[in-house]
Amino acid sequence: MKQNEYPYRNPALPLEERVEDLLGRMTLEEKVDQLMQITIGADTNPNNAGDGHSFRPTIGSVLSYSGGAKNRNAFQRLAVEHTRLGIPIIWGYDVIHGWRTGFPIPLAQACSWDPSLIEAGCRVAARESYAAGIDWTFSPMLDVPHDPRWGRVMEGYGEDPLAAGIFGAAAVRGYQGDDPSQPGTIAACLKHFVGYAAIEAGHDYAYTDISSRALHEIYLPPFHAGVKAGAMTLMSAFNDITGTPAVVNHYTLTEVLRDRWGFKGFVVSDWDGVIQVENQGYTSDPAEMCRAALTAGNDMEMNSTSYRNIPQLVASGRLEMQVVDEAVRRVLRVKFAKGLFEHPYRDEVAPESVSLLPESLEIAREAARASMVLLKNESDTLPLKTTLRHIALIGPVATDPEASAGAWAAMVLPETVPTLRDVIGKYFPESEIHFAHGCDYEGDSEEGFAEAVAAAEKSEVVIMALGEGGNRSGENRSYTNIALPGRQAALLRRIAELGRPVVLLVSSGRPILYPELEPFANAILHIWECGHGAAAGCCDILTGAYNPSGRLAITFPRSVGQIPIYYNRHHRARPDSHSWNGTYFDLDDSPMYPFGYGLSYTRFEYSQMSVSVPELTAQVTLRNAGERAGKETVFWFLSDPEAKLTQPIRRLIAFEQIELAPGEEQIVTLHFDRMRDLAYIDPTGRKVFEPGRFILSVGSEKAEFIVRAE
């Protein structure tokens, strides 16, 4: 029989049959190759570059952008046409928030609270990166952080496990579409499995001490949601989970992921994740690392090559062949499901024909303005009148496309990202814009202050565009001080002294400290790092063409001393009203801006909340009491004040967005469920419903009710 007549080549056969047929024809060497990923070219992560020296056409996967479809086809041809079985290579890359068209960083996207926007952005990213030869993205990141010193907070969807799962599922749908074998779709990879965000003191790659309870209640649920949404792959994390590194963790990778959740795709390690167990003090023997990772359920090794030990482990009886077969089966399953055997090559289209299309840029702009969060608006400073004659635009963000592109910006070319200075004139055609750089992000120089003061003095209003700079958050970007760096706060104070209304725009990839900024601005818009739509989206808000609707998906502390800080914390033994209550002596205990916070140009009022038991429905009347149409995110929080396993003060169980015209009101209904919403997750991961007293809260409203045993 010729190769092209083998049953696995026949797309009409069931996928599992094709997998078994191919597996049965493979040598051990060929199997090992399928379990390895090598790097060719460079990634946006400067640490991750490889020259592909170990490339063999039988390799399972290639990481990194390597020159587009043409280059892919050249390598793929070697695999498909010049190897015994012709197994196609799967191309992976970090497409985190867009490919050529930049979307807001995931943390910002989460603040839009709009899964359909997240899905739409990921769909564009899939289409663009697919055309460039990518099959598989290492996204979404579903880590749940409690510590903004950790630079990777920018890559996730904030601090709430339910929201991270909902947004992660939306990303999976966007990347993979309804049928992942179709052109224009890429496989998703849920990362980092699991608990990476529980790092100590904000140190990247650090040890994590995670109780069984926290594992099941906080860190695993977003991944479960992503698996249910059909994610084809997962990435095991770098962290050591309470003594067993994630990459060799049989409990999480097999007992939970496969045995309980029924996941059928494959798990790739993180970059060098398998060999890093040596640094973590697990083993220094490469064969043992390989054995431990593979038997735990880590199917593919990224970059490092400890899996080359598989043949000797099998020969010596230390590794069973069926473990190897199972891992290969999972990889092949994804390759068949992706349609790689039928369509191994890419059309060599010019990138411009699929990238930065007007409709993609429109989605990027919509996502950007929906992600920005209005934190302060004293005396309706915003929106600005478009009839202003003189506006000052000051600060390093105003001219910096990289502040909008943000970290992990894939193939976003900064020169294609419009800056505020590029576009602001269009939004204020009657105004003269007086620009001044003011100061750099970092450093001690105040040389630019005089020019900034002069610009401000000529103006009726001053827009200060300050920030972290595009790459201060991201991987390996841990800081003990999360205040704006350099002389930026001093510049703001200097400008505020002039007495003009000050609108502060802050671009960052993580929560920053506002106490030293807030008193010196009349309005504050947190603009994150919002990609191609950043400048236009921001101007839409400044002019009032868009009524800000973003709400924080992560808590902003007042001080680093408050970290870890997150909304769904547990009760202390003594209530706040007690004179010895454990709060700080030197600082207000509350966050600077809490989870869910964000202002609008209109006012929403909640009233007449009711809960019906046993129907398990709740209702509240929402009214737009202001003068502009607006979008409100309605957050439903649950409290379970008495439980055998004590529960957080409150936790989010649902959210919904409602758009209302001025004066309009609507009854918002929540249908809740005993097991899904009222039950808690115990330390083994099981849902437990304890009958009794519950409290639901929404906006300013709260209602207590009792649910009895059925």
Dihedral pair phi/psi, residue 214, rounded to 5°: -65, -40
CB of 334 to ligand BGC, least distance (A): 16
- Region of 524 on the Ramachandran plot (φ > 0 left; ψ -120 to 50 alpha; else beta): beta
Cβ-contact 516, 535 below 8 angstroms: no
CB of 490 to ligand BGC, least distance (A): 35
- Token pair of 2 as six digits: 């010729």
Dihedral pair phi/psi, residue 83, rounded to 5°: -125, 165
Rg of the chain in Å (alpha carbons): 26
Nearer to ligand BGC, 98 or 467 (CB): 98
Half-sphere exposure of 610 (CA within 13 A, CB side): 7
- Token pair of 92 as six digits: 């992976």
Nearer to ligand BGC, 168 or 501 (CB): 168
Q: Which stretch, 40-48, 209-217, 288-296, 653-661, contacts ligand BGC (CB under 6 A)? A: 40-48
Dihedral pair phi/psi, residue 393, rounded to 5°: -125, 115
Nearer to ligand BGC, 94 or 301 (CB): 94
CB of 480 to ligand BGC, least distance (A): 21
CB of 528 to ligand BGC, least distance (A): 20
The site that binds ligand BGC (CB under 6 A) totals a number of residues, namely 9
Instruction: Rule CB under 6 A: say whether 271 interacts with ligand BGC.
Output: yes
Q: Which stretch, 42-50, 448-456, 479-487, 571-579, contacts ligand BGC (CB under 6 A)? A: 42-50
Q: Of residues 8, 138, 282, 606, which one binds ligand BGC by CB under 6 A?
A: 138
Nearer to ligand BGC, 45 or 666 (CB): 45
Nearer to ligand BGC, 174 or 273 (CB): 273
Nearer to ligand BGC, 61 or 600 (CB): 61
Q: Of residues 475, 540, 677, 701, which one binds ligand BGC by CB under 6 A?
A: 475
What is the number of other CB atoms lying within 10 angstroms of the CB of residue 211? 12
Q: How far is CA 405 from CA 171, 454, 699, in A?
A: 19, 30, 34
CB of 676 to ligand BGC, least distance (A): 30
Nearer to ligand BGC, 39 or 697 (CB): 39
* β-pair partners for 610: 619
CA angle 493, 494, 498 (to 5 degrees): 105
Cβ-contact 463, 392 below 8 angstroms: yes
Nearer to ligand BGC, 105 or 314 (CB): 105
CA distance 73 to 59: 15
CA distance 523 to 465: 12
**Active-site hit among 43, 114, 135, 270:** 270
Residue 518's Cβ-count burial label (10 Å; 0-12, 13-18, 19+) is middle
Amino acid at 355: S
Cβ-contact 434, 393 below 8 angstroms: yes
- Token pair of 132 as six digits: 């460039």
DSSP for 489-500 reads HHHHHHHHTT-S
CB of 377 to ligand BGC, least distance (A): 37
CB of 549 to ligand BGC, least distance (A): 30
Q: Which stretch, 41-49, 143-151, 280-288, 531-539, contacts ligand BGC (CB under 6 A)? A: 41-49
Nearer to ligand BGC, 270 or 326 (CB): 270
CB of 112 to ligand BGC, least distance (A): 23
Nearer to ligand BGC, 273 or 531 (CB): 273
Q: Of residues 8, 18, 31, 48, which one binds ligand BGC by CB under 6 A?
A: 48
CB of 91 to ligand BGC, least distance (A): 13
Q: Are strands 701-707 and 692-698 parallel, antiparallel or unpaired?
A: antiparallel
Residues between 251 and 270 with contacts to ligand BGC, criterion CB under 6 A: 270
CA distance 453 to 185: 51
CB of 57 to ligand BGC, least distance (A): 22
Instruction: Rule CB under 6 A: say whether 369 interacts with ligand BGC.
Output: no
* C-alpha 414, offset from chain centre: 21
What is the number of other CB atoms lying within 10 angstroms of the CB of residue 499? 8
CA distance 633 to 495: 34
CB of 476 to ligand BGC, least distance (A): 8
- Token pair of 338 as six digits: 């992706």
CA distance 310 to 319: 8
Cβ-contact 108, 528 below 8 angstroms: yes
Q: Which of 430, 407, 431, 435 is nearest to 510 (CA)?
A: 407
Residues between 164 and 223 with contacts to ligand BGC, criterion CB under 6 A: 191
Cβ-contact 491, 452 below 8 angstroms: yes
Q: Which stretch, 43-51, 288-296, 417-425, 447-455, contacts ligand BGC (CB under 6 A)? A: 43-51
Nearer to ligand BGC, 270 or 301 (CB): 270
CB of 628 to ligand BGC, least distance (A): 41
Q: Which of 120, 127, 136, 151 is nearest to 45 (CA)?
A: 151
Cβ-Cβ contacts under 8 Å for 561 (sequence gap 6 or more): 584, 587
Q: Of residues 30, 33, 43, 159, which one binds ligand BGC by CB under 6 A?
A: 43
Q: Of residues 30, 33, 94, 288, which one binds ligand BGC by CB under 6 A?
A: 94
Nearer to ligand BGC, 154 or 563 (CB): 154
3-state secondary structure of 650: coil
Q: How far is CA 406 from CA 113, 151, 355, 417, 531, in A?
A: 20, 12, 18, 11, 7
3-state secondary structure of 98: strand
Instruction: Rule CB under 6 A: say whether 301 interacts with ligand BGC.
Output: no
For this structure, is 380 an active site residue? no
Cβ-contact 461, 384 below 8 angstroms: yes
Q: Which of 607, 593, 606 is nearest to 633 (CA)?
A: 606
The residue number whose beta carbon is nearest to ligand BGC equals 138
Cβ-contact 187, 233 below 8 angstroms: yes
Site residues, ligand BGC (CB under 6 A): 43, 45, 48, 94, 138, 191, 270-271, 475
Residues with a catalytic annotation lie at 270
